[in-house]
Amino acid sequence: MYTGKIVLSQLTTFLPMHEFRRCVKRYRGNRRIRNFSCWDQFVCMFFAQITYRESLRDIEVCLRSIRNKLYHLGIRGKVSRSTLAKANENRSWRIYADFALVLINIARQLYIDDGFGLELKDTVYALDSTTIDLCLSLFPWARFRKNKGAIKLHTLLDLRGNIPSFISITDGKVHDVNILDELVPESGSFYIMDRAYIDFARLYKLNQFLAFFIIRSKSNTKFRRIYSRKVDKSTGLKCDQIIVLSRDKSYKEYPEKLRRIRYFDSENEQDLIFYTNNFTLPAITIALLYKCRWQVELFFKWIKQHLRIKSFFGTSENAVKTQIWIAISVYVLVAIIKKKLNLDISLYTFLQILSVNVFEKDHILQIVTNIDYKTDTKVSCNQLNLFNF
């Protein structure tokens, strides 16, 4: 029988504490703090995400009911909704953003050899955004339209493991294409984007960094065909062309050749046209790569359904960003633990099991796999006996 730490405490042992302290120190998060540290705040919000708490009062009631166990989680301060609300309001969200990026780097290294459905050695990213609606009267800083508030979560998803490698939280008025200015392109990597990201000047910048892009075309794009390649139309391909842009402005922004691929998606009955600066991969591979972009849509759907990022515990911009970045940390940590323990279950199943067992004194492997996990209590053969019988 396992008699060690509670499950919630086991989860936190996978966190790199030295990196967390560095993030706190970088932004002086614990300056003039006596009772409720940044770690206390993080664990309370972490607990809220894992167990789907609805409000600050909900967090307070649940954690106070097990106050004798809080010390083992590292919580030294008294948990109260006013203290937690004040911490979310005033402590910089950048602490938790930086820490989430640390976890992301760990996760990406763990999943670096995983596949994503296509045999391709290069790194493949899917770029997209999702809108989170907010009440304008409660979140006046998040003005989107005249009578509507919203923020956007821009995400660059690494398809190996579906780990977000870049995240930017902006107000709803920021156009998606502007996020291309914040990216640092990686040479040899693929960036898959929808038509909202068409800006030939920015795409040419990706090309100059020797990065590849695959982007869906807009219907009003003018071009001149140079020549066509043969395609196997039984695969859904309609054409594979080498083109140059014909409008003066577009050609000035992107003066080099492009590859235009037309593909009919029989599953969704859609006629799709892509532009890419990669001239070596088979046309069908380019089309299938674009279909992988759907993974970023599934990522947004997953975190909205299973994490607390649609309703918030505070109304300030700092509180909202703090909650979102801690939610991202939870997602990435669950992915890290799943990989390190070699669990053959989905992230959804793993999170559901954790949510109802956080205060159990069972090993994580035991509650997930139903294996009777036993603590090794055998005495080492090198241990001398105190008494001789």
What is the pLDDT at residue 3? 56
Name the CA radius of gyration of the chain, rounded.
25
C-alpha–C-alpha distance, residues 74 and 357, integer Å:
19
Measuring CA to CA, which residue among 81, 88, 83, 69 is closest to residue 36?
83
What is the pLDDT at residue 2? 52
C-alpha–C-alpha distance, residues 374 and 89, integer Å:
44
Run of H or E including 283:
helix 283-291
What is the pLDDT at residue 388? 47
What is the pLDDT at residue 371? 53
Amino acid in the structure at residue 228: S
Q: State the average pLDDT for the chain.
A: 89
Dmax over CA atoms of the chain, in Å, equals 97
C-alpha–C-alpha distance, residues 42 and 88, integer Å:
10
What is the pLDDT at residue 387? 43
Burial 102-135 (b: 16+ CB within 10 A, else e): bbbebbbebbeeeebeeebeebbbbbbbbebebe
pLDDT digits (tens, 9 = 90+) for 222-270: 999 999 999 999 999 999 999 999 999 999 999 999 999 999 988 888 9
pLDDT digits (tens, 9 = 90+) for 103-157: 999 999 999 988 888 888 899 999 999 999 999 999 999 989 888 899 999 999 9
Measuring CA to CA, which residue among 297, 320, 304 is closest to residue 149?
320
What is the pLDDT at residue 126? 96
What is the pLDDT at residue 78? 78
Ranges under pLDDT 50 in the chain: 1, 373, 375-389
What the block records as the tokens of 69 is 């166990």
C-alpha–C-alpha distance, residues 256 and 29, integer Å:
49
